[in-house]
Amino acid sequence: MTCVCSCSPGTAQESRGGPGAGAAEPFSDGAEPSYSTDFEVHRNWLAITHSLPVSRWYYEATSEWTLDYPPFFAWFEYTLSHIAKVFDPEMLNIQNLNYASPRTVLFQRFSVIFTDVLFIYSVYECCKCIEGKKAGKELTEKPTFILSVLLLWNFGLLIVDHIHFQYNGFLFGLMLLSVARLFQKRHLEGAFLFAILLHFKHIYLYVAPAYGIYLLRSYCFTADKPDGSVTWSSFSFLRLIALGFIVCFVSALSLGPFIAMNQLPQVISRLFPFKRGLCHAYWAPNFWALYNALDKMLCIIGLKYNLLDPKKIAKASMTSGLVQQFQHVVLPSVTPLATLICTVIAMLPSIFCLWFKPQGPRGFLRCLIVCALSSFMFGWHVHEKAILLAILPMSLLSVGKPQDAAIYLLLTTTGHYSLFPLLFTAPEFPIKVLLMLLFTVYSFSSLKTLFRKEKLLNWMETIYLVGLGPLEICCELVFPFTPWKLKYPFIPLFLTSVYCAAGITYAWFRLSVSMLPGPAVSKAKLQ
Amino acid sequence: MKEWHSMTIAVLVGLTVRWAVSLNSYSGAGKPPMFGDYEAQRHWQEITLNLPVQEWYFNSSDNNLQYWGLDYPPLTAYHSLLCAYVAEFINPDWVALHTSRGYESDHHKLFMRSTVFIADLMIYIPAVVLYCCYLKETSPRKKIANAFCILLYPGLLLIDYGHFQYNCVSLGLTLWGVLGLSYDWDILGSLAFCLALNYKQMELYHSLPFFCFLLGKCLKKDLKGKGLLLLIKLITTVVAAFALCWLPFFTQLEQTMQVLRRLFPVGRGLFEDKVANFWCSLNVLLKIKSLLSPHTQLMFSFALTFLSLLPACLKLTLQPSLRGFKYALVSCALSFFLFSFQVHEKSILLVSLPVCLILNEVPFMSIWFLLVSTFSMLPLLLKDQLALASVGTTLGFGVACASSFSIFENISEEELQLRSFSVYVRRHIPGFKVPAKMLKTWFLVSVTMMSLLTLTSITVEPPHKLPDLFPVLVCLVSCLHFLLFLIYFNVIILWDHRNGRSQKKIN
């Protein structure tokens, strides 16, 4: 076990150095100021936290990339900025928009690589507490080894963090660590870690329901009836108070200063910008992408058969499909509240299962993934990167049961492919294709070896996944050379988004069904 | 996991690292007026596309030989021409006569990098994979580990994808040659090697083992019967291959002579820049370049090279074996690198390729050599701003090697292939033992020294009086290593009894 984790982090760290070192280059070229907005976003936050007093952090708006993460992340940037000073003090100047000197790039890249140490440690902890299928004597065929590679070499995390630029590594590290703690029955520690995580990046609110229900049901209630239902009398107030104290303490630490300065509404308005629109510039492959596509199709059909009045349709919605505000023409427009209701409805069944049929930490993990995926499917202004929130925890389940492995393969392959538009420059094209192939070949071959006897994917799923290849060729190799490129520049993104949305919806559906302890399953077993 | 899955993964990792390195800077980026090897390759495309074949190697108003004149054999020129056609199709500005000089842009870089990538993918990588798949007496796991390490060898990677050259083509063709000889397809093997020789004249470093091995094979088969037939077949193949490659230059004697003069620039001196070979290191103590006349230098270097080659070549001719052939490739190339005339630091790659081939036989020493060879090119790599890439790929290679071959666990006489040597010595000095444990310490000391020197070269400014301090130190350290390696490999070759008559003596 130690051998596994001491060898794979080494190689993973190395691989991070590789693409990171390579991707650092286009910045220093100077031809394009910066191609990843997130790189500039984080540089700007370094500058804000370093040169302004805390009271100005959430008001500063020189750059359009204002601070929109919770206070802990701001403090994290503040800490980093003190090291950044040594590398290049110029990057800490708020007025220096799009500043990307070679030293700045070096510092930023290395900060991501070093904070990944936490991620590596959590993977090690997770491997210890996941007992997968017993198989194979050889090291490379053990579930723990496979799991550590699947997590450490995760294609999505690699490109989002080390090429595109974000700090997801250590944040996912915190999440996996808290999951590992819950597996190890160290509930308070797990809750504490998750509370901290929430104040680093509030996107993790997606999975908060799973945490809340699980801790309440399986920690605050100390005993179950034999049939698994709640024993109301076993409720422990002490435990609830301990949990409440932890959450309040962390929140006070994070938000306290801003409440004291009477800035809470401002902070909240920065954290939840509902003005942004239903979908991101590139539609994340979720339910709303399908909804938009349906609307578009109905619109075109309507126009063709003169069912719609062309004058009534705003011109913008016809010519470019991917503006920030998408105008629905036929179907009703969607409000933030509607998305919230949809999300809650999508989560409910799994939450109910977690409450009425608790299956220990594994059930919690499954519920957590369903929550993450449901939020991704129906959330307001979801980024395509949010799919990682489901993919990474899903890796833990994938080495356990063949059904989960099948869902995992569908979800990761589709989800990872949907991240392709993040890297759009020509020199990055071979990198993303090679890395994706690398990860996909590994995940398929290792999981197929692990579950030798079972058939993982049926013919329909296989055809769907194989279809990603031609799709990529059409979108990135053929389309740019066709005359449609100028007239309909959004078609590749549109196709990618809709195609992936179909796959992810399917994976979400299969996962939600797997959560339900259906009688059909037990009957099948009896037969 | 299935074998071919693992092999696919190994190749994919190799390709990914290659492309990641290629995103870095190249030699002479943004450094007018001469730029670097990148510009040289681009310039050759320009020349071969715009001038008739007869003018390629001649100085003229359109072809200034002082500015990166073509000095590689015809096959390189044809390859340049092929690339030039593609370049012209994409953007004629890239290869326009005169006006394209020093052309640099992101798109052009992408184009140039992909030409290397494609050449590598078509020639070198398949050869490596095939070579490893058909290794005898090796478990599948070892085969894949072998391929993985060879594909990750940082020296070749950094020179081809960072510095910018097409070594993968010439080395790949040589590897195809070795593959051919391994399967007794002598004709195909020699054909591949002829092509390699016509791509880069530096492949002459490998030519003697090829020659001796094939000659030895003919002799063994009895020169009157089958051996003669084979010899005639081989001669025909070689002559035909050369004739075909040189056809446009055989029209006039002057053409052929000019090409040869361009290929072997004897006038350029014993060595240039800082090379980790014998002469350059000797120069630190003794200024031979000014002490001896150029002619004497040439004689000396010829004599020393010949002497150091002789034992390995004689042995191979008399007892041709595939194993001996591989070791002879290493030792001959290393002799050439250390003692011959006009050596470049990049020529160490010609030694590294055969060392990669014996990776599974003597993993410890091979990995050590490969690390030193990469280190010896450090001054060049730093000049090209490839510090980060070099450190990254070398660390990756180290980790890959350490995890696939447990190098420290088995350093014994047997593993170092020194069994018969120590048996021989023991006859004269009883109680002699190969200092295997000490070797481990030496290895650690050597690696520490190399990392420290790398670190200081990157971070510390050299003192004003000695601006070349670090490059010279790097050369000295590497040269010392190479001399010891030369002795080691020669010992293995000379005391190799496995296929000889003396097998009985040991038993």
Mean pLDDT, chain A, whole residue set: 83
* Whether the Cβ atoms of residue A391 and residue A411 lie closer than 8 Å to each other: yes
**Percent of chain A scoring above 70 in pLDDT:** 86
What are the pLDDT digits (tens) for B359-376?
A: 988 899 999 999 999 999
Residue B74 to chain A, least CA–CA distance (Å) = 31
Q: How confident is the model at residue A15 (pLDDT cuts 50, 70, 90)?
A: very low
Count Cβ neighbours within 10 Å for each residue of A360-380 and write b for 16 or more, e otherwise: ebebbbbbbbbbbbbbbbbbb
Residue A3 pLDDT more than 60? no
Range of weakest confidence among A379-383, B178-182, B431-435: B431-435
CA distance A18 to B155: 15
Nearest residue to B262 (alpha-carbon basis) of B400, B56, B438, B99: B56
Q: How confident is the model at residue A319 (pLDDT cuts 50, 70, 90)?
A: very low
Please judge whether B12 and A430 are an interchain contact, meaning their C-beta atoms are less than 8 angstroms apart. no
Q: Once rounded to an integer, what is the mean pLDDT over residues B469-484? A: 93
Question: Which residues in chain B have Cβ-Cβ distances shorter than 8 Å to A442?
Answer: 5, 9
Burial degree of A503 (CB within 10 A; 0-12, 13-18, 19+) = buried
Residue A413 to chain B, least CA–CA distance (Å) = 16
Range of weakest confidence among A19-28, B4-13, B345-354: A19-28
Q: B68: which residues sit within 8 A by CB, 6+ positions away?
A: B34, B39, B40, B43, B44
Question: Which residues in chain A have Cβ-Cβ distances shorter than 8 Å to B392?
Answer: 14, 17-18, 21
Please judge whether B117 and A430 are an interchain contact, meaning their C-beta atoms are less than 8 angstroms apart. yes
DSSP H helices, A153-281, are: 155-158, 168-183, 187-200, 208-214, 237-260, 264-271
Q: What are phi and psi of B62, to 5 degrees?
A: -90, -10
DSSP single-letter state for residue A30: -
Nearest residue to B362 (alpha-carbon basis) of B421, B405, B319: B405
Looking at residue B293, its pLDDT comes to 83
Looking at residue B162, its pLDDT comes to 94
What are the pLDDT digits (tens) for A78-102?
A: 999 999 999 988 888 888 888 888 8
Beta bridge partners of A279: A382
Residue A407 to chain B, least CA–CA distance (Å) = 20
* Whether the Cβ atoms of residue A279 and residue A494 lie closer than 8 Å to each other: no
Nearest residue to A168 (alpha-carbon basis) of A186, A178, A154: A154
Q: Which of B4, B11, B16 to mutate to test the interface with A (most CBs of A within 10 A)?
A: B16
Please judge whether B396 and A434 are an interchain contact, meaning their C-beta atoms are less than 8 angstroms apart. no
Looking at residue B453, its pLDDT comes to 94
Considering only the C-alpha atoms of chain A, give the largest distance between any 2 of them, rounded to a whole number of Å. 72
Nearest residue to B163 (alpha-carbon basis) of B22, B272, B274: B22
Q: How confident is the model at residue B92 (pLDDT cuts 50, 70, 90)?
A: very high
Please judge whether A14 and B396 are an interchain contact, meaning their C-beta atoms are less than 8 angstroms apart. yes
Range of weakest confidence among A8-22, A434-448, B94-108: A8-22
Range of weakest confidence among A58-62, B175-179, B404-408, B496-500: B496-500
DSSP single-letter state for residue A313: S
Q: How many residues does chain B have?
A: 507
CA distance A126 to A486: 49
Q: Once rounded to an integer, what is the mean pLDDT over residues B161-169? A: 95
Residue of chain B whose alpha carbon sits nearest to that of A449: B1
Taking phi first (over 0 means left), then psi (-120 to 50 degrees means alpha), and beta for anything else, what does residue B102 get?
Answer: left
A71-87 and A187-200 are packed helices; what angle lies between their axes, rounded to 10 degrees? 70
Question: Which residues in chain B have Cβ-Cβ distances shorter than 8 Å to A438?
Answer: 9, 12-13, 16
**ipTM of the predicted assembly exceeds 0.85:** yes
Q: How confident is the model at residue B125 (pLDDT cuts 50, 70, 90)?
A: very high
Q: Which of B1, B89, B90, B459 to mutate to test the interface with A (most CBs of A within 10 A)?
A: B1
Q: Once rounded to an integer, what is the mean pLDDT over residues B101-129? A: 94
DSSP H helices, A357-490, are: 360-378, 388-398, 402-417, 428-450, 459-466, 468-472, 484-487
Q: How confident is the model at residue B191 (pLDDT cuts 50, 70, 90)?
A: very high
Please judge whether B392 and A21 are an interchain contact, meaning their C-beta atoms are less than 8 angstroms apart. yes
DSSP single-letter state for residue A327: P
Domain boundaries, chain A: 37-271, 287-515
B13, B23, B388: residue with CB nearest A427: B23
Looking at residue B45, its pLDDT comes to 94
Residue A321 pLDDT more than 50? no
Looking at residue A326, its pLDDT comes to 64
Amino acid type, A514: S
Nearest residue to B16 (alpha-carbon basis) of A118, A112, A163: A163
Please judge whether B15 and A442 are an interchain contact, meaning their C-beta atoms are less than 8 angstroms apart. no
Looking at residue A158, its pLDDT comes to 92
Residue A525 pLDDT more than 50? no
Q: B149: which residues sit within 8 A by CB, 6+ positions away?
A: B356, B359, B367, B397, B400, B401, B404, B405
Report the sign of the C-alpha dihedral through residues A285, A288, A289, A291, in that order: positive
Q: How confident is the model at residue B406 (pLDDT cuts 50, 70, 90)?
A: confident
Please judge whether A25 and B8 are an interchain contact, meaning their C-beta atoms are less than 8 angstroms apart. no
CA distance A193 to A186: 11
* Whether the Cβ atoms of residue B70 and residue B44 lie closer than 8 Å to each other: yes
* Whether the Cβ atoms of residue B436 and residue B412 lie closer than 8 Å to each other: yes
* Whether the Cβ atoms of residue A391 and residue A154 lie closer than 8 Å to each other: yes
Reading the block at residue B93, the tokens are 């500005």
Q: Which is higher by pLDDT, B423 or A460?
A: A460
CA–centroid distance for B234 within its chain:
24
CA–centroid distance for A59 within its chain:
28
Q: Once rounded to an integer, what is the mean pLDDT over residues A416-445? A: 92
* Whether the Cβ atoms of residue B344 and residue B275 lie closer than 8 Å to each other: yes
Residue B321: CB atoms within 10 A of its CB come to: 18
Q: How confident is the model at residue A344 (pLDDT cuts 50, 70, 90)?
A: very high
Q: Once rounded to an integer, what is the mean pLDDT over residues B128-146? A: 88
Q: Which is higher by pLDDT, B272 or A55?
A: A55
CA distance B209 to B294: 28
CA distance B316 to B357: 17
DSSP single-letter state for residue B456: H
DSSP single-letter state for residue B410: T
Reading the block at residue A55, the tokens are 């009271």
Please judge whether B16 and A23 are an interchain contact, meaning their C-beta atoms are less than 8 angstroms apart. no
* Whether the Cβ atoms of residue A174 and residue A200 lie closer than 8 Å to each other: yes
Please judge whether B399 and A438 are an interchain contact, meaning their C-beta atoms are less than 8 angstroms apart. no
**Percent of chain B scoring above 70 in pLDDT:** 98
Burial degree of B408 (CB within 10 A; 0-12, 13-18, 19+) = exposed
CA distance B36 to B504: 56
Beta bridge partners of A224: A230
Residue A58 to chain B, least CA–CA distance (Å) = 37
CA distance A276 to B363: 59
Q: How confident is the model at residue B438 (pLDDT cuts 50, 70, 90)?
A: confident
Looking at residue B367, its pLDDT comes to 94
Range of weakest confidence among A442-451, B239-248, B474-483, B498-507: B498-507
* Whether the Cβ atoms of residue A422 and residue A159 lie closer than 8 Å to each other: yes
Residue A481: CB atoms within 10 A of its CB come to: 7
Reading the block at residue B200, the tokens are 């880069």
Residue B298 pLDDT more than 60? yes
Nearest residue to A411 (alpha-carbon basis) of A120, A129, A156, A161: A156
Q: B18: which residues sit within 8 A by CB, 6+ positions away?
A: B117, B120, B157, B160, B161
Reading the block at residue B395, the tokens are 């660390």
**Percent of chain A scoring above 90 in pLDDT:** 46
DSSP single-letter state for residue A382: B
A11, A26, A29: residue with CB nearest B399: A11
Q: What are phi and psi of A221, to 5 degrees?
A: -95, 120
What are B448-452's contacts with CB under 8 Å, separation 24+? B449/B477, B450/B371, B450/B372, B450/B375, B450/B477
Please judge whether B110 and A21 are an interchain contact, meaning their C-beta atoms are less than 8 angstroms apart. no
Looking at residue B440, its pLDDT comes to 87
Please judge whether A426 and B388 are an interchain contact, meaning their C-beta atoms are less than 8 angstroms apart. no
* Whether the Cβ atoms of residue A19 and residue A435 lie closer than 8 Å to each other: yes
Range of weakest confidence among A49-53, A277-281, A459-463, B149-153: A277-281
DSSP H helices, B277-347, are: 278-285, 288-291, 294-318, 322-339
Looking at residue A6, its pLDDT comes to 34
CA distance B16 to A23: 12
Q: Once rounded to an integer, what is the mean pLDDT over residues A458-475? A: 93
